[in-house]
Amino acid sequence: MQEDSVAIVDTLTQVYSQKWTGAEQIDQSNAFIHFMYSNNLIFVVLGVTLIIWAILLFFMFRVDKKVSSLEEKINTDQK
Long-range CB contact pairs, 10-17, < 8 A, 24+: none
Q: Which residues span the domain enclosing 34?
A: 2-78
- What is the rounded CA–CA span in Å between residue 5 and residue 21? 26
Distances (CA, A) of 67 to 3, 70, 71: 67, 5, 6
- 19 touches 11 (CB < 8 A): no
User: Residue 77: what pLDDT?
Assistant: 87
- 52 touches 44 (CB < 8 A): no
Domain count, the chain: 1
DSSP letter assigned to residue 54: H
User: Residue 43: what pLDDT?
Assistant: 80
Mean pLDDT by runs of 10 across the 79 residues of the chain is: 56 60 57 71 86 98 96 89
